[in-house]
Amino acid sequence: MPLNEGLSRAPLRVYTEYQGTAPDDVQRAMQEELESIMAPIGWQTAWTPIDHLGQGQISVSLAVIRFAGSCDAANLIGTPQKTDVLGLTYVSDGDVLPYSDVNCDSVRAFLAQELASTKTPQRPKLFGRALGRVLAHELYHILTAEQRHGSKGVGESRFTPGELAKGTFRFASPEVQKLRNNLLPVLMSLHPPAEIERKAASLFITSGCAGSHGPQGGGTFYGPPLRAAETPRDLQARLSNSKSRMYKGAKSLNTRWPNFTAAEVELLSDYLRTLAR
């Protein structure tokens, strides 16, 4: 089963179609990389083959992704000529459509030098990581309905081979905030709060808390389950501690640290108590 295929209530469902070869290890590396980019923002992703489209899965946002060419990096013989078009998202009458192409042949050509210098058993992971970053870029357009690009990070208009293949590569803060803002109506639909809690839930999602700790505060890979703060003062103390594990974790994920007012801290403190019940 592909990573996260079983998520029944995911904010985003990605339907995939592979034109050519797509080994399992490449798919898994791609999905893991996409999750590492999108999940801390709050966009959990469920993966579904295109032939399962419309078979009852629950989601609010969807994207149909076609992977062109061969997504196999093991054999570099016959690698096509380098091209700048690694992926594209379709637009009609000025509206961004939920359809994107990721060109595996182009990505393989773009990374020809990096792949050639990598031992064969490690190539699927490197190649899958690059595909995940290209896909994250295209999903940014779909999820924000934004045609423009960011100035740096995954949202920028052009990548270097090193950005796709090495280290950690994330969205810059402005793009993270746009993705969070557009996550708000999705999570509100999947997890409708009581009317009296809507403002607090909105603050919880758009500030980034939901990305790290889950939409219901139940915890994720990136943050533990939340406990109810005894008082707003306790919560404010934790949010003000720049040496805390929470602060360092948010910084490593390129998450903009929230600057709450006293009234917002009190609102969140009350809201955490409702989640902890």
Name residue, tokens 């999905």. Answer: 31
What's the per-residue H, E or C state across 134-169? HHHHHHHHHHHCCCCCECCECCECCCCHHHHHCCCC
Q: What is the pLDDT of residue 156?
A: 96
17 and 130 housed in the same domain: yes
158 and 226 housed in the same domain: no
What's the per-residue H, E or C state across 63-90? EEEEEECCCCCCCCCCCCCCCCCCEEEE
Residue 68 lies in a domain: yes
163 and 53 housed in the same domain: yes
- Is the pLDDT at 143 greater than 50? The verdict is yes
- Residue 210 half-sphere exposure toward CB, CA atoms < 13 A: 28
Q: What percent of the chain has pLDDT over 90?
A: 47
159 and 210 housed in the same domain: no
Residue 185 lies in a domain: no
- Is the pLDDT at 8 greater than 60? The verdict is no
- In whole angstroms, what is the distance from residue 72 CA to residue 128 CA? 9
Is residue 86 within 8 A of residue 138, CB to CB? The reply is no
* Mean of pLDDT over the chain: 85
Residue 107 lies in a domain: yes
- Is the pLDDT at 211 greater than 90? The verdict is no
Residue 149 lies in a domain: yes
Last-in-domain residue among 114, 140, 172: 172
The tokens of 161 are what? 């081979």
Q: What does 92-119 look like in DSSP terms, one character per residue?
A: ETTEEEEEEEEEHHHHHHHTHHHHHTS-
Q: Between 246 and 2, where is the model more confident?
A: 246
The CATH number for 48's domain is 3.40.390
Q: What is the pLDDT of residue 210?
A: 84
pLDDT band at 3 (very low <50, low <70, confident <90, very high): very low
148 and 255 housed in the same domain: no
- In whole angstroms, what is the distance from residue 227 CA to residue 218 CA? 9
Q: What is the pLDDT of residue 139?
A: 98
Q: What is the pLDDT of residue 270?
A: 84
Residue 178 lies in a domain: no
Predicted confidence (pLDDT) per residue in 53-72, tens digit: 665 555 568 999 999 999 99
Q: What's the mean pLDDT in 250-274? A: 79
Q: What is the pLDDT of residue 254?
A: 63
Residue 33 lies in a domain: yes
- Is the pLDDT at 16 greater than 90? The verdict is yes
219 and 253 housed in the same domain: yes
- Domain range for 74 is 9-172
Residue type, 85: V
Q: What is the pLDDT of residue 4?
A: 45
134 and 206 housed in the same domain: no
- Is the pLDDT at 118 greater than 50? The verdict is yes
Residue 29: CB atoms within 10 A of its CB come to 23
pLDDT band at 78 (very low <50, low <70, confident <90, very high): low
79 and 117 housed in the same domain: yes
Q: How many domains does the chain have?
A: 2
Last-in-domain residue among 141, 172, 203: 172
31 and 148 housed in the same domain: yes
Residue 2 lies in a domain: no
Q: What is the pLDDT of residue 79?
A: 55
Residue 182 lies in a domain: no
Q: pTM of whole model > 0.75?
A: yes
Q: What is the pLDDT of residue 55?
A: 55
246 and 123 housed in the same domain: no
Q: What is the pLDDT of residue 82?
A: 60
Q: What percent of the chain has pLDDT over 70?
A: 86
The tokens of 12 are what? 């985003």
Lowest mean pLDDT among 5-9, 167-171, 206-210: 5-9
DSSP 8-class letter at 186: H
155 and 213 housed in the same domain: no
- In whole angstroms, what is the distance from residue 69 CA to residue 46 CA? 23
Element (H, E) at 15: strand 9-18
Is residue 89 within 8 A of residue 142, CB to CB? The reply is yes
Last-in-domain residue among 172, 205, 228: 172
Lowest mean pLDDT among 24-28, 97-101, 181-185, 258-262: 258-262
The CATH number for 203's domain is 1.10.760
18 and 55 housed in the same domain: yes
